[in-house]
Structure 1
Amino acid sequence: MLLNYVFGFNARLGRLAYFFFSFVVGCGYLMLVFGITGNAPASGRTDVLLAQAANSMPLLIGFYVVLAMTFMLQSMRIRDIGWDPVCMMVGWIALVVIDRIVAGKYPEYALTYQHTGTTVGALVNLALMLALTFWPGSRPGEAPHETGDDGFSSRGSTPAAAGNRVARIASGEFGGKTR
């Protein structure tokens, strides 16, 4: 249960806060890259920058910290929209992995010969990022949209649908009746 709060699955983050914090995290990492390598990532020589980054332990640690921070910010924003962050984030990661596999196996579907993603994957990622940035969240006094055990909307229910789902799985009720 503590991991839900640490990773932001039960916290909510509004549109403006999400945009601001994402901007601050990106600028912070850009300043770290520029401070260590002396080059900005948009300077055109990304091959040299990637070689420098692969040999720099502070940049690798910073990359993984930024990756974790953006994962948490996206999870909090998804919770504010009313979607289940556990399902959405797993689906998003699966989409990225499948997209990379398809682009590697069939290079003609990749965006360009240098990209490791397809056009469909790029459009889905764009749609998800636009939804996170512009989709209206629940109001401050209102609980986020939850679904009940029957899968239908239950606006007046308690916001413990994710906890109920985990409890059902843990007690052996996953996939139907047992015994």
Structure 2
Amino acid sequence: MFHTILGFGGRMGRLEYFLISLVFGLFMTLLVVALFLGLAPHGLTPGNARASIGGSSLLIVLLLVVMPIYLWFSLAFLAKRLRDIGWNPLFVILGWIGAIMIDRFVAMTVPAMALGHGSGTLAGLLLNLFMYGSLLFWPSAPTGTEDWSGNSYPGGRPDPDPRLQRPREPKPAAQPAAALAPAPVQAPSGFGRRGL
């Protein structure tokens, strides 16, 4: 059971991904709010509380514990959903992270292209919208169509090149009803099997 939850293998449908992401996101938001409220000195304004918590070593330790857990679950759910779509999770996740890093770099080096302070560009926003929209709305691929996942193939491994596939044998033509009638019974000869 824990392999299904903690592992990167398997598939996850749209509704399942949406519900798990919603519950996991709410849990992480409540955890961060609880950490913020628990560590903030009482009676301070929000700006002063943020400044006093920023240097707290306890918060840093808690974030070092919570962030890897959050990243593990997020990447595991993402890999399962991408596999369900029919995409290779390794290439898509690495490409998405690379595109986000390039987008942030462009936004830092060319501030005129940035949408706001500390955010990315319009191209990065559109890429993220496409990816999240795909994760939530892209239909599942048929089972057994991925050749990179190592799953078993019910009808044999699909061949991607149609020129290498064997031609299908034509179906036999329908025979007339007279040909399907039983043969007339012959009278046995008097000599049995050795008969003339």
Question: TM-score surpassing 0.5?
Answer: yes
Give the AA of the match of 2:11.
R
Q: Equivalences for 1:100-179 in 2 at 5 Å? A: 100-112=104-116, 114-139=117-142, 142-146=143-147, 157-158=156-157
Question: What is the SS of the residue equivalent to 1:111?
Answer: coil
TM-aligned CA deviation for residue 54 of structure 1: 6.6
Contact 1:12–1:80 (Cα < 8 Å) also in 2 = yes
TM-aligned CA deviation for residue 138 of structure 1: 2.7
Contact 2:14–2:137 (Cα < 8 Å) also in 1 = yes
TM-aligned CA deviation for residue 64 of structure 1: 2.5
- In structure 2, what is the equivalent of residue 170 of structure 1? none
Question: What is the SS of the residue equivalent to 1:38?
Answer: helix
Whose Rg is larger?
2
Q: What are the ranges of 5 or more consecutive residues in structure 2 without an aligned counterpart?
A: 39-45, 159-196
The change in CA–CA distance for 1:47 and 1:73 in structure 2 (over 3 A counts) is farther
- In structure 2, what is the equivalent of residue 22 of structure 1? 21
TM-aligned CA deviation for residue 48 of structure 1: 5.3
- In structure 1, what is the equivalent of residue 10 of structure 2? 11
Structure-2-length-normalised TM-score: 0.62
Contact 2:6–2:73 (Cα < 8 Å) also in 1 = no
C-alpha distance in 1, partners of 2:93/2:70?
16
- In structure 2, what is the equivalent of residue 31 of structure 1? 30
Give the AA of the match of 1:13.
M
Structure-1-length-normalised TM-score: 0.67
C-alpha distance in 2, partners of 1:50/1:7?
38
C-alpha distance in 2, partners of 1:50/1:71?
31
- Please give the root-mean-square deviation of Cα atoms over the aligned residues, in Å: 3.1
C-alpha distance in 2, partners of 1:155/1:117?
44
How many pairs are equivalent?
A: 141
Instruction: From 74, 85, 89, give the equivalent of 1:85.
Output: 89
C-alpha distance in 2, partners of 1:24/1:130?
18
